[in-house]
């Protein structure tokens, strides 16, 4: 009997993601604090974030998701003002920023304005964990979203 390992691997990964989502859903429902995630997105070419996937994932979990889509030509001061405003919002537990590749050089500067308590971006260690699974790009993105949501959950627990 020939076994299609790619098919089995893909089914296993899909089931693993479903299981992770189920676990997160269970935990988020038990938390007495509504978890809120905010995303500051600067539109432009090569913005790799799948906003629909992030939105759908948050919708499938008890997570309030707010999205701030800004034009690429917005001034840096306005983006910083928005980030600082979101930092002051007590009911936001996670904050992410996505920019087009043309503005990548500004990304670290912008991350510097996120409150450490709300910063749920993945670090190098997180990316090394993701890489070792040999996932395709879409699966890597799904796992990175779930890992960011886990960080937002931890922030909400800490604040509760």
Q: What is the tens place of the pLDDT at every residue in 99-139? A: 887 778 888 899 999 999 999 998 889 988 888 888 888 78
What pLDDT does residue 104 have?
Answer: 80
What is the CATH architecture assignment of 15-159? 3-Layer(aba) Sandwich (3.40)
Q: Report how far residue 1's alpha carbon sits from residue 17's, in angstroms, rounded to the nearest whole number.
A: 28
* Mean pLDDT of all residues in 80-101: 92
Q: Report how far residue 23's alpha carbon sits from residue 5's, in angstroms, rounded to the nearest whole number.
A: 26
Angle at 112 between CA 147 and CA 160, to 5 degrees: 50
The number of beta carbons lying within 10 Å of the beta carbon of residue 21 is 17
**Contact at 8 Å (CB) between 37 and 94?**
yes
| pLDDT-derived band at 1, boundaries 50, 70, 90 | very low
Average pLDDT, the chain: 82
Q: Does the model's pTM come out above 0.95?
A: no
**Exposure string (b/e) for 46-70, b if CB count within 10 Å is 16 or more?**
ebebeeeebeebbeebebebeeeeb
Q: Report how far residue 84's alpha carbon sits from residue 106's, in angstroms, rounded to the nearest whole number.
A: 16
Least confident among 58-62, 85-89, 91-95: 58-62
């Amino acid at each position: 009997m020939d076994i299609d390992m790619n098919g089995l691997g893909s089914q296993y990964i899909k089931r693993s993601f479903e299981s992770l989502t189920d676990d997160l859903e269970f935990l988020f429902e038990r938390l007495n604090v509504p978890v809120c995630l905010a995303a500051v997105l600067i539109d432009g070419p090569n913005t790799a974030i799948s906003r629909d996937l992030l939105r759908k994932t948050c919708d499938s979990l008890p997570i309030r998701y707010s999205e701030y889509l800004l034009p690429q030509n917005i001034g840096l001061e306005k983006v910083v003002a928005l980030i600082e405003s979101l930092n002051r919002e007590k009911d936001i537990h996670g904050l992410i920023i996505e920019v087009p590749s043309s503005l990548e050089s500004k990304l670290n500067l912008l991350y510097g304005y996120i409150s450490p308590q709300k910063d749920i971006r993945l670090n190098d260690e997180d990316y090394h964990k993701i890489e070792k699974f040999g996932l395709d790009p879409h699966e890597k993105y799904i796992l990175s979203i779930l890992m960011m949501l886990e960080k937002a959950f931890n922030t909400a627990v800490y604040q509760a």
